[in-house]
Chains A and B, each alone.
Chain A
Amino acid sequence: MKLLKLVPDNTNIGFVVMRKWAFALTALLTVLAVGATAYKGLNMGVDFVGGLMIEAKFPQNVETDKVRATIGTLGVGESSLQQFGDPKTVQIRLPLPEQGGAGAANAVVEKTRNAMTAQFPGVTFSRYDTVSGKVSGELIQNGVLAVVLAILGIAVFSWFRYEWQFGVSTFVAIVHDVLMTLGFFAVTQLEFDLNIVAAVLTIVGYSINDKMVIDDRIRENMRKYRKMDMKALIDLSVNETLPRTVMTSVTIMLALGALLLFGGHVLRGFTAAMMLGIIVGTYSSVYVSSSLLISLGLTPMSSEKKAGKANIAAQAERVGPRDGAQP
């Protein structure tokens, strides 16, 4: 049987040579992403800005303008509407009443529901969220803290495990991934809520996974080929792991694709973020983080002594008896 190979054997792409271009492109995209986030802002969900969210499902397609007009007459503050998933589902966001606490929020929900039911018979309400300003502030804080700690924790881990250059290059690449994801949300204006924080953290986790595999191979090759030029060595390592990088990205994309198409509207933003993150993460593993090692001045000298011994040990094992083949 002929098996599928996405990356042909003995592929040898000069990733390192392209690094100046890759860095320039990366920097440009990152600046654009940051600019978009700063200029357009993120479409923050009630999780992060506080307020009221009601998801209404109409029996037939509905124009958001009509819904907006209905709510506008209630005097419950400025509503922001979004068609969600299909043209029958509308998400209504309202500010929390400034005083009166839970009772007042209840009253707003009640008022909105009654008016909508009167105007659009047959409408059902499938979800309400009410988040007070205090809680939303904490959620933002925790979300940001989680992402920052995850990135730092992972960078420190790879610094201790390998050389400091690995820590720095990983850190840069992951910050890039996160910024690109934010930029994506700024441009598309998809709602940014707690689920998306989970998605960003997963992107961080996946991206680091990807980089670890390549870093690990670089370290292995540094021991094996002590005399090899660093550029060639990194190219070799990236090319050797390329089939795996592509295979894994494709399998995860298959899984996420299923989720995007069939997973329901609640998870759509989440899945979109993940898919983008996988693409960006794979790109930064192949083009950015490994080439950055050269710019950071990684040399094979640092681990030469250890490497020598390990190499001898490895050779010894290869010529040893084939015990594993015994029944």
Chain B
Amino acid sequence: MLNFSRWAVFAIILPLAIGVLCAVPSFLPDSVVTRLPGFMQTRVNLGLDLSGGSHLLLEASTQDVAKQRLTNMEEQVRTELRRADPRIAIGDISSRDGKLSFMVREPSQVDAAVERIRQLTQGAALTGQRDFNVEVVNSSTIVITPTSAGISNAVKSAMEVATEVIRKRIDEMGTREPTIQQQGDNRIVVQVPGLQDPKALKDLLGQTAKLEFKLVDFTANPAEVAQGRAPVGSEVLPYPDNPSGVPLIAVKRQVMVSGEDLTDATQGYDQSNQAIVNIRFNGSGGRKFGQVTSQNVNRPFAIILDGKVLSAPNINEPILGGSAQISGNFTVESANQLAIALRSGKLPVALTVVEERTVGPGLGADSIRAGLIASIIAVVAVAIFMFVSYGRFGMYANLAVAINVAVILGVMGMLGATLTLPGIAGFVLTIGTAVDANVLIYERIREERRRGRNVVQAIEHGYKEASRTIFEANVTHAIAGGIMLALGSGPVKGFAIVLLIGIATSVFTAVTFTRMVVANWVRRTRPTDITI
């Protein structure tokens, strides 16, 4: 058992050396790391609680997605049936309880209508389920019900788009190394290291940025508009900055141009030095805008953002160049934010912040310093204690612990794992428990010596018997760690990562590595008695 072949020694030393090597970049400054070869550049990430920064958890309302989908469906049904030849007239359209229902006026056309609407639905699952169910009730009413598979598909794709949009917006803000990840079905985690005040970020992410241009319905009766009623084909929208004093305005339902036709948006100033957003349309958007403005000179149009009218300027002359400006009650900052939001596209679904954690960089730095000091003191105290208790063998254990610490850091670097404040606590605890394996072995060797075994037999037996116990104890420990990793959020997870890596590496360093070192010493000196 004390015999280690050359290849066994190699097999033990090599992974440890690699692990230690991988830990090195974590201690070097940025400037040095970038000059290292690629595989050496991975290092331990610091969690937000150490580096300072903001963590936001955003949630999308699945109901919103479902509602939006139903509205789109309604629009599609109207167009499709209008296009039919002969045209299919419908009435009594309602979308209640998440269903869309309407009546076909001519009973003989019901089948043709169903046929056409079925074409609009799509496969939603492998089982052949469609995304909408279409049924006829009371012989002339068609009911369109979204299926659950359809909704979950829609949420999924909305979240993908939303994640992408958020990534673009945050990149535009020029923040460094943000992490943006989808979590669960309808949540997105955003982590921005180094960000002191997340207010701007939250404002930016809180905007859906759905931009529309619509003509103002100047035929509407102001008194009716004030009560929220609009003529047919128009709708009443909130207009907080309306110069007339009434915070409402009637606009045509039909969209002139929407944010989808934008190619660029930048913050700028108008003649009176007021902040505005300059926008540029793509080809078809520019044509549409030019056409509508030509036909409506001297009439106002409304600039609508997220269902609210920002401003309703007059069309003084046709706007043909494909660019326009959005005026409103902007500050430079809010104009800039809108420009960013427009450039990165609209969010397919509104997001709300359900959790926020911000740590100032000062506190983060304090925590790192405190954690480092505590770790060093812990290591030194444990090392002295081990030496006083087990002498030479204690030093071997200390060597194993030192290597273990480096290897844990190395493995964390390789995995790109994040070190958090609880992670540091996990580290300190690992130092404490790593020596437990050695304590088990050494106590066993002491026992075996007391029972009168010779040195070699006692060492052999100590390692053999203790290994089984160590294995079992670590399996149970790993069960706890695994559950923390699976169920834990934030701090619990950060702790579990270090704990699990520590369990894996400490068995190797504390048992295999020290056995090799002890065996080497015994072979060289052939002691007849040992102090342990």
* Residue positions of A touching B, CB distance < 8 A: 1, 3-6, 9-10, 55, 57, 101-103, 105-106, 110, 124-132, 134-135, 139, 142-143, 145-146, 149-150, 153-154, 157-158, 161, 194-195, 197-198, 201-202, 204-206, 208-209, 212-213, 216-217, 220, 240-241, 243-244, 247-248, 250-252, 254-259, 261-264, 266-267, 270-271, 274, 318, 322-327
Contact = CB atoms under 8 A, between A and B. Distances in A.
Contacts of A325: 2, 456, 526
B352 interface: yes
Contact of A197 (B57, B390, B465, B488): B488
Given A135-B57, A194-B490, A259-B428, A244 B367 contact: no
A262 B359 contact: no
Query: Among A3, A205, A247, A322, which residue has the most Cβ atoms of chain B within 10 A?
Result: A205
B376 to A, nearest CB: 8
Interface in B499-526: 499, 523, 526
A124 B386 CA distance: 43
A263 B358 contact: no
A3 B388 contact: yes
B460 A324 contact: yes
A101 B351 CA distance: 10
A258 B59 CA distance: 40
Contact of B443 (A10, A243, A327): A243
Contact of B377 (A1, A153, A258): A258
B457 interface: yes
Contacts of B358: 127-129
Nearest to B450: A9
Contacts of A4: 388-389
B428 A256 contact: yes
B531 A3 contact: yes
Contacts of A135: 57, 354-355
B374 to A, nearest CB: 4
B354 A132 contact: yes
A212 B202 contact: no
Q: Which 5 A-B residue pairs are closest in the complex by CB-CB distance?
A: A264-B370, A252-B432, A205-B480, A126-B363, A255-B432
A241 B477 CA distance: 19
15 contacts: A1-B391, A127-B357, A132-B354, A146-B488, A195-B491, A198-B495, A198-B496, A247-B439, A248-B436, A252-B432, A261-B374, A264-B421, A266-B49, A266-B421, A327-B523
A212 B432 CA distance: 17
B219 interface: no
B226 interface: no
Interface string B471-511: 01111110111011001111110011001000000000000
B531 A106 contact: no
B1 A324 contact: yes
Given A248-B436, A252-B429, A263-B370, A3 B391 contact: yes
A102 to B, nearest CB: 4
B95 to A, nearest CB: 25
A212 B469 contact: yes
B435 A198 contact: no
A150 B480 contact: yes
Contacts of B531: 1, 3
Given A194-B490, A240-B447, A267-B425, A324 B3 contact: yes
Contacts of B206: 102-103
A251 B439 contact: yes
Contacts of A263: 370-371, 373-374, 424-425, 428
Given A258-B374, A266-B49, A270-B425, A127 B360 contact: yes
B382 interface: yes
B83 interface: no
Given A220-B465, A243-B446, A263-B371, A146 B487 contact: yes
A125 to B, nearest CB: 7
Interface string B204-224: 001000000000000000000
Given A250-B385, A254-B378, A254-B382, A194 B473 contact: no
Nearest to A10: B450
Interface residues of B, number: 86
Contact of A149 (B59, B432, B446, B483): B483
A146 to B, nearest CB: 4
A254 B492 contact: no
Interface string B329-367: 000000000000000000000001111111110110011
Given A4-B388, A102-B352, A213-B440, 6 more contacts: A125-B360, A146-B492, A202-B499, A212-B469, A263-B370, A267-B422
Contacts of B234: none
Contacts of A131: 354-356
A248 B440 CA distance: 9
A323 B1 CA distance: 8
Interface string B100-141: 000000000000000000000000000000000000000000
B429 A255 contact: yes
Nearest to B472: A212
Q: What's the dominant secondary structure at chain B's contact region?
A: helix
Contacts of B388: 3-4
Given A110-B199, A198-B484, A130 B355 contact: yes
A154 B479 contact: yes
B489 A194 contact: yes
Interface string B30-73: 00000000000000000001000000010100000000000000
A213 B2 CA distance: 24
B353 A198 contact: no
A234 to B, nearest CB: 17
B12 to A, nearest CB: 17
B262 interface: no
A129 to B, nearest CB: 5
Nearest to A263: B374
Contacts of B422: 195, 198, 267, 270
B487 A198 contact: no
A216 B472 contact: yes
Given A201-B492, A255-B381, A266-B49, A324 B480 contact: no
Contacts of A132: 353-355
B360 A197 contact: no
B374 A259 contact: yes
B166 interface: no
A267 B429 CA distance: 13
Nearest to A139: B489
Nearest to B475: A157
B433 interface: yes
B28 interface: no
B162 interface: no
